[in-house]
């Protein structure tokens, strides 16, 4: 939201077109008619507000928050960064939710159809709230790549889904984070709907060797920029979503 209380318009030159047949489900999702603009209601623009008191102590620890008999299998990682506005000012109090596949690329979900094994110690969901300087941090294991029913041999690169929730229902943004150095990013039919390589690069977390934990975890840095020329690309600002 801008300082005068109005919402920013979507930058249509930065986002993928709605109709991208290489990503099959976009064919049915793409609007068939011109879009209508609806005014936001007061309740959509004013609440609710989340506080740290709503979160459990393990909500930002995916290594421990579902563990039954021990830690999950996989490469232990820290994911951290900041939520920033278009002027690089921190966004405090933003609720971040994240979900991901396990180290084998398998989701804990009823409709999951990939053969890879479930990990009894890994749920794959977590959340946290940004601090006064917009920082967030969570611990998890690196997700695996997985195949999906699109083309005959389409795989998603390793990724973590993010939801960013501000101070109102109309302020929810959704995106995906990828991992530096993964060659599968550039073969993904979903990623390739994004026409601008710079927009893709902003979805790739940097491997940060300065913030690893000794004999424990690698670190990846992922800043989320809400608006402006360096904005993170959010899925639900695309046409038709
Ligand atoms: Fe996914």
Please give the pLDDT value at position 241.
Answer: 33
178 is catalytic: no
Please give the pLDDT value at position 6.
Answer: 61
Give me the chain's average pLDDT, please. Answer: 90
146 is catalytic: yes
Distance 43 CA to ligand 1 centre (A): 31
Please give the pLDDT value at position 5.
Answer: 56
Please give the pLDDT value at position 77.
Answer: 98
Taken in order 182, 187, 191, 196, is the CA torsion positive or negative? positive
Distance 2 CA to ligand 1 centre (A): 31
Question: What is each CA distance from 162 to 17, 40, 92, 95, in whole angstroms?
Answer: 21, 23, 16, 10
Burial class, 42, CB count within 10 angstroms (exposed 0-12 / middle 13-18 / buried 19+): exposed
Give the integer Cα–Cα distance in Å for 213 and 79.
12
∠ CA(80), CA(85), CA(90), 5° rounding?
A: 55
Taken in order 53, 56, 61, 62, is the CA torsion positive or negative? negative
Distance 236 CA to ligand 1 centre (A): 15
pTM: 0.90
Percent of residues, the chain, with pLDDT higher than 70: 93
Give the integer Cα–Cα distance in Å for 221 and 78.
8
Instruction: Spell out the per-residue pLDDT of the chain, length 241, in tens.
Output: 555 556 667 777 788 899 999 999 999 999 999 888 888 888 877 777 777 678 999 999 999 999 999 999 999 999 999 999 888 899 999 999 999 999 999 999 998 889 999 999 999 999 999 999 999 999 999 999 999 999 999 999 999 999 999 877 778 899 999 999 999 999 999 999 999 999 999 999 999 999 999 999 999 999 999 876 667 888 776 543 3
Please give the pLDDT value at position 240.
Answer: 39
> What residue ranges define each of the domains in the chain, with the CATH number in brackets?
54-237 (2.60.130.10)
23 is catalytic: no
Distance 221 CA to ligand 1 centre (A): 19
Give the integer Cα–Cα distance in Å for 124 and 180.
21
Please give the pLDDT value at position 126.
Answer: 97
Distance 57 CA to ligand 1 centre (A): 25
Q: Output Rg (C-alpha) for the chain, integer angstroms.
A: 18
107 is catalytic: yes
Distance 156 CA to ligand 1 centre (A): 7
Please give the pLDDT value at position 73.
Answer: 98
């Amino acid at each position: 939201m801008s300082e005068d209380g109005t919402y920013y318009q979507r930058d249509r030159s930065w986002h993928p077109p709605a109709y991208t047949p290489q990503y099959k489900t976009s064919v049915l999702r793409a609007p068939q008619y011109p879009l209508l603009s609806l005014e936001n209601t007061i309740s959509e623009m004013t609440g609710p507000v989340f506080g740290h008191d709503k979160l459990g102590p393990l909500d930002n620890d995916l290594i421990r928050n579902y563990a039954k008999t021990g830690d999950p299998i996989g490469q232990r990682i820290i994911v951290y960064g900041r939520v920033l506005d278009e002027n690089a000012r921190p966004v405090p109090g933003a609720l971040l939710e994240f979900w991901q596949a396990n180290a084998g690329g398998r989701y804990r979900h009823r409709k999951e159809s990939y053969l890879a094994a479930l990990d009894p110690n890994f749920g794959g969901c977590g959340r946290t709230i940004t601090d006064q300087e917009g920082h967030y941090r969570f611990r998890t294991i690196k997700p695996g790549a997985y195949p999906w029913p699109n083309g005959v041999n389409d795989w998603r690169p390793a990724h973590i889904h993010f939801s960013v929730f501000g101070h109102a229902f109309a302020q929810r943004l959704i995106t995906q984070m990828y991992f530096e150095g993964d060659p599968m990013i550039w073969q993904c039919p979903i990623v390739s709907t994004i026409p601008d390589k710079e927009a893709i690069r902003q979805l790739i977390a940097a491997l940060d060797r300065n913030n690893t934990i000794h004999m424990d975890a690698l670190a990846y840095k992922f800043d989320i920029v809400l608006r402006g020329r360096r904005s993170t690309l959010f899925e639900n600002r695309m046409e038709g979503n």
